[in-house]
Amino acid sequence: MTIPRIDADRLAARLHALAAFSTSQAPAVTRVVFTDEDRQARAWFRACCEEDGLTVRVDAVGNTFARWDGTDPSLPAVATGSHIDAIPNAGMYDGTVGVLGALEAVSALRATGVVPRRSLEVVLFTSEEPTRFGIGCLGSRLLAGRLEADSGTRLRDRDGVTLDEARQAAGFTGDLASVALGPTHYAAFVELHIEQGPLLEQRHIPLGVVTAIAAPASLRVTVDGEGGHAGAVLMPDRRDAFLAAAEVALAVEAAAVATGAIDTVGTTGVCHVFPGAVNSVPSRCDVEIDVRDIDQARRDAVLARIAAACAEIAARRRVTIETAVVNADPPAACDPAVVDALTASCEALGLAHDRMISRAYHDALFMSRVAPTAMLFIPCRGGVSHRPDEYASPEDIARGAQVLALTLARLAG
């Protein structure tokens, strides 16, 4: 098999050019879906795809597909890609390595002069981050048919703008039902990504072949107590909503630790206190909780422990606690054949690699519902992600793109 050559300088230059589409001052990147910066970045990416000789189409939610036809375009294609939206004050490598690395991988294959049997598609997924509409992997959920038909009118941002209003204002029209892919649309899907963790760097291993992807369950918890003057309400009489919420947060930690499994994690990442005055007893507190695991039964047992703790705390502190499940996605096992293709490509290039799980979830989680799927990780410095100092070296990025290219060639025949 011809070894594709990655243009590391061009790939690095494109990553820096993409990072400039941001509302934050460099090195931070903020690029929220359907904003001006997001639309400009999408237009720039489309121009890059067309410059590289690929045919581009866009669906009703803005998922973008750049295709290189194989010798038998009637066969299900092989796809690769990730996302380019970025949470506020993020870095420049999360998602973007998997989009621009995929584009470079396909371009490197084209340069060999060997046309694969199956077509190859680079996919830019819409809104992997939950920043605007409160739900992650929006585009890939729709592609996998895992989002309700009313999501276009039901999902709203903080300003009350619906998903339909936002996407249509950004130029993406049509019925959201048309986004879903058929079960044989893709023969395989591979996502290249920074690890967003420290293990590869700590082990001095350049590549991670992902065998399973953890999935989150997200909860919104509302605690209603009774407010009053901080000086006048005596301690025995208090029904402090924040203190009850603080106990809920500690219960989340205890439930996750109690499994004894390193792959179980629980986080209380949002806490809004009302009325938010230093001299007022909190009457209401809203918290948001994230529980993740690669084992769905174990994760759901943690959710049950949290629910039991909420009931006990509510009774003891004389408050009302209501919980709502925002989403509870099943974890995914990566396809053995795609994992083997990644492994074989690493070995063909003489590159050390390790099999590992993804504790963060990605668009690949939902693509696994409609196609055989796996992921390839490259190291990121210190395991840092979702911060301006997020960093992956040009050498590691190019190495990942080369393994991806070889893997796509194997999968596409």
CB burial readout 89-109, b (16+ within 10 A) else e: ebbbbbbbbbbbbbbbbbbbb
Q: What is the CATH number of domain 8-214+331-412?
A: 3.40.630.10
Please name the residue that has the structure tokens 């953890």: 214
Specify the range with the lowest mean pLDDT, choosing from 192-196, 248-252, 278-282, 323-327.
Answer: 323-327
Average pLDDT over residues 334-362: 96
- 192-241 tens-digit pLDDT: 999 999 999 999 999 999 999 998 899 999 999 999 999 999 999 999 99
Distance CA(290)–CA(302), nearest Å, equals 11
- Do 214 and 359 meet the contact criterion of CB atoms below 8 Å apart? yes
The half-sphere exposure of 158 on its side-chain side, counting CA atoms within 13 A, is 4
Q: What is the CATH number of domain 215-328?
A: 3.30.70.360
- Per-residue confidence (pLDDT) for residue 60, from 0 to 100: 97
Find, among 338, 339, 340, 310, the residue nearest to 324 by Cα: 310
Q: Would the pLDDT of 149 be above 80?
A: no
Query: DSSP H helical segments within 170-324, as ranges?
Result: 199-203, 241-258, 296-317
Exposed, middle or buried, 156 (CB in 10 Å: 0-12/13-18/19+)?
middle
Q: Would the pLDDT of 165 be above 90?
A: yes
CB burial readout 59-69, b (16+ within 10 A) else e: bbbbbbbbbbe
Q: Would the pLDDT of 1 be above 80?
A: no
CB burial readout 220-233, b (16+ within 10 A) else e: ebbbbbbbbeeeeb
Dmax over CA atoms of the chain, in Å, equals: 80
Angle between helices 8-19 and 96-112 (to 10 degrees): 150
- 285-314 tens-digit pLDDT: 999 999 999 999 999 999 999 999 999 999
- Per-residue confidence (pLDDT) for residue 377, from 0 to 100: 98
Q: Tokens at residue 202, please?
A: 């700590």
- Do 45 and 64 meet the contact criterion of CB atoms below 8 Å apart? yes
Q: How confident is the model at residue 260 (pLDDT cuts 50, 70, 90)?
A: very high
How many other CB atoms are found less than 10 A from the CB of residue 248?
24
Rg over CA atoms, the chain: 23
Q: Strands 77-83 and 186-194: what pairing? A: parallel
How many other CB atoms are found less than 10 A from the CB of residue 198?
14
Q: How far, rounded to the nearest angstrom, does the alpha carbon of residue 397 sit from its chain's CA centroid? A: 18
Q: How confident is the model at residue 183 (pLDDT cuts 50, 70, 90)?
A: confident
- Per-residue confidence (pLDDT) for residue 380, from 0 to 100: 97
Q: How confident is the model at residue 97 (pLDDT cuts 50, 70, 90)?
A: very high
Which residues are CB-contacts of 210 (< 8 A; sequence separation ≥ 6)?
A: 334, 339, 355, 356, 357, 358, 364, 374, 375, 376, 377
Q: How confident is the model at residue 376 (pLDDT cuts 50, 70, 90)?
A: very high
Domain assignments of the chain as residue spans, ordered by start: 8-214+331-412, 215-328
Amino acid at site 122:
V
- Per-residue confidence (pLDDT) for residue 327, from 0 to 100: 85
How many other CB atoms are found less than 10 A from the CB of residue 267?
16
∠ Cα 395 400 401 (to 5°): 100
Q: Tokens at residue 360, please?
A: 């963060």
Q: Would the pLDDT of 105 be above 80?
A: yes
Q: Would the pLDDT of 131 be above 80?
A: yes
Average pLDDT over residues 128-132: 94
- Per-residue confidence (pLDDT) for residue 289, from 0 to 100: 96
Exposed, middle or buried, 25 (CB in 10 Å: 0-12/13-18/19+)?
exposed
Find, among 306, 313, 308, 319, the residue nearest to 241 by Cα: 319
Find, among 2, 45, 53, 48, the residue nearest to 405 by Cα: 2
pTM comes to 0.90
